[in-house]
Amino acid sequence: MLRRGFSPAAAPTGCVDFDSMARAVYPSPAIGAPAGWIDLPFEVDATSHGYRLDRFLALRIRRLSRTRVQSIIAAGHVRRSGGPASSLRAASRVLAGQTVIISRPAPVEPPVPFTANVLYHDADLLVLDKPAGLPVHPSARYHRNTLTALLREVFGPNHGWDMAHRLDRETSGVIVFGRRGGSATALKRAFARRQVTKHYLAIVHGTIDVSMRVEVPIGAAIGSRVRIKMGPRPTCDGGLPALTDIEPLCGGDFRGAPVTLVRARPYTGRQHQIRVHLDHIGHPVIGDKLYGIDESAFLEVYDHGRLMGDLEAELGLARQALHAHVLALPHPADGRPMRFTAPWPAALAALVELPTQLPEEALPLDPPAPSSTRSVRREPRP
């Protein structure tokens, strides 16, 4: 067990306990922000060069409408790093390499788990087992209680570890970091080139008794009032290709109804891909607060003040039953194959035990579909 002073020189496996860090990541207001406020930085990448400021921020913060972004700019709460807010207008152009900063009142943040298992680390690679409930990045509800903020506290403000990919807040499991400006670039390139194998475990509603391939493009959910919600969307209407293999492992029972433990292998990395594809085939993830239920339940919590605990009690699980179980990739420094496994969480094992022997996991990208495999391949209707 390591507390606060976690060091890369320590043993390659272990645990970082963040309990003593709760609400102490930023003991004083962020530089440039008034007392009781926090700063949210957004770096302008090459693809956003020349965008209007309001368009850039609306794209980066999808939960905010462009009108809301314009009102925040007009109120003087947006500035460039090192510059005054008064010089910025909604029509100001952003340039690649700049950092745009929004100042906002510090939120009252819900509690989160503060313990992360260290699966592996060396000079170029850090691999953690993220617990469910811990956000990886700041959002509307979380700023201090995030994985990135906690790493900053553990390693120092200039620790240099960059996240190579993301996990949803309620998804547990393997998450990988590389060195900023070095191995992180190689890791992100490996993800982009599909040189990374990912296997997730999920407990879903209903019975699945045959393996299947789901090849349905994903984009912003059509007709949804939730800005972050994704869904099947034709490529001609902005959807992106998405491919997931689904394999049933065993069955179980949840609240008197059948459930299935499945292994999901995504070949693409779309937002909420596994959750969307499982919901699309009629088997949403247990505990999912956005997919497989009426979205009004989600909006009642986030927009109308309903207690999150009430929704969790209604769903029967405080987290979504999705776990990033295995991740295999070439080491960013020398290319040797690496494989990391995050143990099946106890909260999910209480619902369905993970079989001792799992079926063979190595599947090529485009294997011929065996007779026992059903394929879901279609373009959603616009």
Per the listing, tokens 């776990």 go with: 323
Q: Are residues 274 and 345 in the same domain?
A: yes
Convert the pLDDT of each residue in 236-245 to its tens digit.
999 999 999 9
Does 319 map to a domain?
yes
Distance of alpha carbon 327 from alpha carbon 195, whole angstroms: 11
Token duo for residue 151? 């790493």
- Catalytic, out of 168, 245, 279, 288: 168
Residues 155 and 265 in one domain: no
Residue 22 predicted with pLDDT over 50: no
47 and 180 together in one domain: no
pLDDT at 371 over 50: no
223 and 151 within one domain: no
- The whole-model pTM stands at 0.73
Conformational region of residue 122, where left means phi above 0, alpha means psi within -120 to 50, and beta covers everything else: beta
**How many structural domains is the chain composed of?**
3
DSSP code, position 344: P
Mean pLDDT of the region 75-83: 85
Confidence of residue 370 (pLDDT cuts 50, 70, 90): very low
What would the pLDDT profile of 160-192 be if each residue is shown by its tens digit?
Answer: 788 899 898 899 999 999 998 899 999 999 999
Residues 316 and 382 in one domain: yes
**CB contact set of 40 (below 8 Å; sequence gap of 6+):** 101, 102, 103, 104, 138, 143
Q: Which of 193, 215, 243 is the last residue of a domain?
A: 193
- Verify that 121 and 160 share a domain, yes or no: yes
Domain assignment of residue 14, yes or no:
yes
| Sign of the dihedral defined by the CA atoms of residues 5, 120, 343, 165, in that order | positive
Q: Does a structural domain hold residue 111?
A: no
Final residue of a structural domain among 193, 214, 238: 193
If one compares 17 and 52, the residue with the highest pLDDT of the two is 52
pLDDT at 32: 44
Residue 166 forms part of a structural domain: yes
Average pLDDT, the chain: 81
How far apart (Å, rounded) are the C-alpha atoms in residues 293 and 279?
Answer: 10
**CATH code of residue 137:** 3.30.2350.10
Highest mean pLDDT among 55-64, 342-351, 370-379: 342-351
Q: Nearest Cα to 176, choosing from 215, 118, 90?
A: 118
For residues 105-134, b (16+ Cβ closer than 10 Å) or e, as one string?
eeeebeebebebbbbebeebbbbbbbbbbb
315 and 260 in a common domain:
yes
Range of the domain at 353: 196-382
**What percent of the chain has pLDDT above 70?**
81
> Is position 18 within any domain?
yes
Whether 337 and 204 map to the same domain: the answer is yes
Residue 279 has pLDDT above 70, yes or no: yes
Pick the last residue of a domain from 78, 105, 132.
105
Shared domain for 322 and 224, answered yes or no, is yes
CATH of the domain at 67: 3.10.290.10
**Structural element, H or E, at residue 152:** helix 147-155
Do 185 and 220 fall into the same domain?
A: no
Q: Is residue 377 part of a domain?
A: yes
Same structural domain, 211 and 231? yes
- 209 noted as active-site residue: no
Which pair of structure tokens corresponds to residue 21?
């860090």
